[in-house]
Structure 1
Amino acid sequence: MPLVTMHIWRVPPVRVGAALWRVARDRGRVRALPGCAFAKVLGTGRGFGPGGADATRWAVLSAWHSPAAAADFEAGTVASAWRRIATAECRLDLAPLSGRGTWAGRRPFEPDPGAAPDRGIVVALTRARLRPARALRFWRAIGPVADAVARADGLHATFGVGEAPIGWQGTVSVWRDAAALRAFAYRNPAHTSAIAATPAERWYAEELFARFALLDVAGDRSVIGWAAA
């Protein structure tokens, strides 16, 4: 997969209704675009769970067969419609480095043999569909992890994403480099404890973890909580 893009828009409170309409309208439209291999229209939040939902920020995550297809989306009617209701926009251009698990039964972010090397800024995406009977226990357990990641060394930005307010959540995090991401993932006690508990707790009906090289960031980085360089 040569290119993955993530567009994030900030809308004013008075345009939240218009944003919800765009979410319902655009889910199928993006997937039907020529050259689109995978697409999700996502809500966002300040963390991993329903309590931090942010109705003024929305995202489209897409995987493209070619950079030309991604450019057509950038200039097309869907992205233009979002810009008309948005006050700010940020776009991340990503190259898949690794992926584990599935999303809607698919593996959408398999790395290309010519993927960017594992150096420089990296972006981690986690996504999970929670088992309803396990969701409350999961949200109670994940609190210390969310607190820890917010203080992690080498973290540029993090925010929640989701296809639905409850049970279909994920996170996007931007790291200084792969070493900083690995240090948090494998050395932070809260995170390693959550990983160890996952097989026994069986929180997830489906899960995915993917890591990307950040090829470019365009627009207003404050939309994702990343201070401008």
Structure 2
Amino acid sequence: MIVALTITKFRSFTIPFAFIGMAVLRLPLWLNKRCRFWKLMGSGKDAQVDLPADYRHWAILTTWDNRETYDDFNFRSFVMKWFNFFGSESFTILLNPLSSHGLWSGKQPFKTQISDINHTEKIAVITRAAIRFNKLKEFRSNVKRAAEAMRNATGFILSAGIGENPFFDQATFSIWENMESMKAYAYQSFDHSDVIKLTRARKWYKEELFARFAIIDSWGSLNGVEINTNN
């Protein structure tokens, strides 16, 4: 399986076309039977995790059976031509699922074909949650410290906040130097582990997903920075 994530920065004067795209691009994605799963999403300020919605950064997540079908979509589809035409900067990363637990919109979108047991190279992570309406204020008051701890963690490379809805449906995409550094943050960082405990105790989420990926390829930049995912 190929999982593709593209984060595009739209020019200021093309922001209305970003909003239009979130509506009209659903139809060609829905009609594309080779695309197994897709999400059109917004992003946090400068594509960061814990900041307010940013109307210039937008993202598209898709899954495919193989690289050939993705490449055809990337180079020929109306969807990607829309992003490329109106965008001023773009970052794309291709991933292969190592492990995945939970649901996204009632589906398990990432089919694992290889194990993460012996994975020693750079690793990408997606965590996604649908937040309960009555827990939103409590969630937002705690997520900032976990995001700050992540950006300061050893082995951290990149993170981006994305989601279908800037308030209730949120996802974090991150890249780490290796499995050990990712696990050290996830399980040993006080701020992150404390937020996870609160998540369970306070039942913030009505749906959640956690997935790890091997990195296949990447290109482009985010906020003017070229992202190096080579091992």
Residues 129-176 of structure 1: per-residue CA shift (max 9 Å, x gap)? 100001111111222111111111111111100101211111111111
Residues 103, 208 of structure 1: 8 Å contact kept: yes
What is the alpha-carbon root mean square deviation over aligned residues?
A: 2.0
Q: Does 1:90 align with 2:91?
A: yes
SS in 1 for 2:180: helix
Q: Residues 207-226 of structure 1 correspond to what in structure 2 (within 5 A)? A: 207-222=208-223
Aligned to 2:70: 70
TM-score by length of 2: 0.91
Q: Which residue of 2 aligns with 1:5?
A: 4
Evaluate the alpha carbon distance shift between residue 20 and residue 27 of structure 1 in structure 2; reply closer, same or farther with a 3 A threshold: same
The amino acid of 1:199's aligned partner reads: R
- TM-score for both structures, normalised by structure 1: 0.92
Letter in 1 for 2:130: R
- Name which of structure 1's ranges 106-115 and 192-201 shifts more when overlaid on structure 2: 106-115
Counterpart Cα distance in 2 of 1:99 and 1:159: 19
What CA distance in whole angstroms lies between the structure 2 residues aligned with 1:226 and 1:148?
Answer: 23
**Contact 1:31–1:37, Cα closer than 8 Å, also in 2:** no
Distance 1:220 1:25 in 2: 26
Q: Classify 1:17/1:96 alpha carbon distance in 2 versus 1 (closer, same or farther; 3 Å).
A: same
Secondary structure of the residue aligned to 2:147 is helix
Q: Is the 8 A contact 1:34 1:69 kept in 2?
A: no
Deviates more, 1:128-137 or 1:68-77: 68-77
Q: How far 1:48 sits from its partner (Å)?
A: 4.0
Instruction: Quote the residue 2:197 is aligned against.
Output: 196
Partner SS, residue 119 of structure 2: coil
DSSP 3-state at the match of 1:36: coil
In 2, are the aligned partners of 1:40 and 1:60 still within 8 Å (CA)? Answer: yes
Deviation larger for 20-29 or 122-131: 20-29
Where in structure 2 are the equivalents of 1:117-128 lying within 5 Å?
A: 118-128=119-129
Percent identity, aligned pairs only, is: 28
Count of aligned pairs between the two proteins: 226
Counterpart AA for 2:38:
A
Distance 2:216 2:41 in 1: 21
Partner of 1:39: 38
- Structure 2: segments with no counterpart, 5+ residues: none
- Any unmatched runs of 5+ in structure 1? none
Distance of 2:115 and 2:132 partners within structure 1 = 36
